[in-house]
Amino acid sequence: MEKQTQCTRKTKQSERPVEPLPGPASDSPSTILTLIERVALDPHADVEKLDRMMAMYERLKAKEAELAYNAAKGRILKKLAGVKIVKNRPVLSDIDNGKQRGTVEAFKYAPLEEIDKHLRPLLAEEQMDLSYSDEPWDGGGILIRGRLKHLPSGHFEDSFMPAPPDTTGGKSNVQAVGSTNSFLRRYVACNIFNIVVVGDDDDGTGGTIDEAQAKTIVELIKKAKVGPKFLKYMRAQSVEEAGSLETAVATIAARDYRKAVSTLEEQIAKAEVGHAHLS
């Protein structure tokens, strides 16, 4: 009778539901963190397994931060596509050629504060920050680092641009450094956000994009894996008409450069999000 009772107890114990073991790792950092906490509380935990899980967690957090950064930057680019930033500050030059003497307007440019006026509200809206720092450069020049950072996620990307001191116009050493510093900051901001500054005496068309811009768009097209519809959307020639992708891209209007870049980067960001959910 006692044996029968013991057998019955054993049978009942075996019928109790068994607590499931941690399943396959999800692509959610919070899920991985929960598993890490469970393993860490286990006195018999495998240290190597815990290290691998921590490494996985760090990779997922970094990817999540990068996706948030790309999405925020993409939204800023899309809004900037509808903003016209004009060259409104003249640069004067003294002339004395024997026949004419005086000061004339050499050219115009968009100062940093003009660019910042349009850019800063968009950065604040997306909780992003653009900061600058200067570093020594070989040959006595100046190297400006622009850092675009997504504050909630912490992800950032740097852009660099060097130049020698601007000694034109009889500037002192301090003035030369200040002029170059301001010049480089403007160009770093324009490079990061693909800003095309237009003259105040034209309609903003400026013909077609230049060689460097065409190269940037071709690289983005290949990364985004878009088809002929993109060229049609940008009102450019088709590959068949132009003879090659590079030639077709070169027919995109200069006024549409930012629109093209923001559209492609938006497609790339969407593809990365989809890939992250599937992996």
Q: What is the residue-wise DSSP string for 212-263?
A: HHHHHHHHHHHHHT--HHHHHHTT---HHHHSSHHHHHTTSBGGGHHHHHHH
Please identify which residue in the block is written with the tokens 């009942």: 12
Q: Look at residue 272 and tell me whether its pLDDT is greater than 70.
A: yes
Element (H, E) at 122: helix 112-125
Average pLDDT, rounded, for the chain: 78
pLDDT bracket for residue 57 (50, 70, 90): confident
pLDDT-above-70 percentage for the chain? 73
Q: Per-residue pLDDT averaged across 221-247, rounded?
A: 88
- Check: CB of residue 204 under 8 Å from CB of residue 84: yes
- 28-37, 53-62, 105-114, 230-239: range with highest mean pLDDT: 230-239
Query: E strands along 46-205, which residues?
Result: 86-87, 89-96, 101-109, 128-137, 141-150, 156-163, 198-199
Q: Look at residue 103 and tell me whether its pLDDT is greater than 80.
A: no
pLDDT in tens, 246-255: 888 988 988 7
Q: Per-residue pLDDT averaged across 163-189, rounded?
A: 85
- Check: CB of residue 136 under 8 Å from CB of residue 115: no
pLDDT bracket for residue 203 (50, 70, 90): very low
pLDDT in tens, 128-173: 999 999 887 877 788 999 999 999 999 999 999 888 888 776 778 8
Q: Look at residue 76 and tell me whether its pLDDT is greater than 60.
A: yes
The per-residue pLDDT for 131 is 96
The per-residue pLDDT for 14 is 39
The per-residue pLDDT for 58 is 83
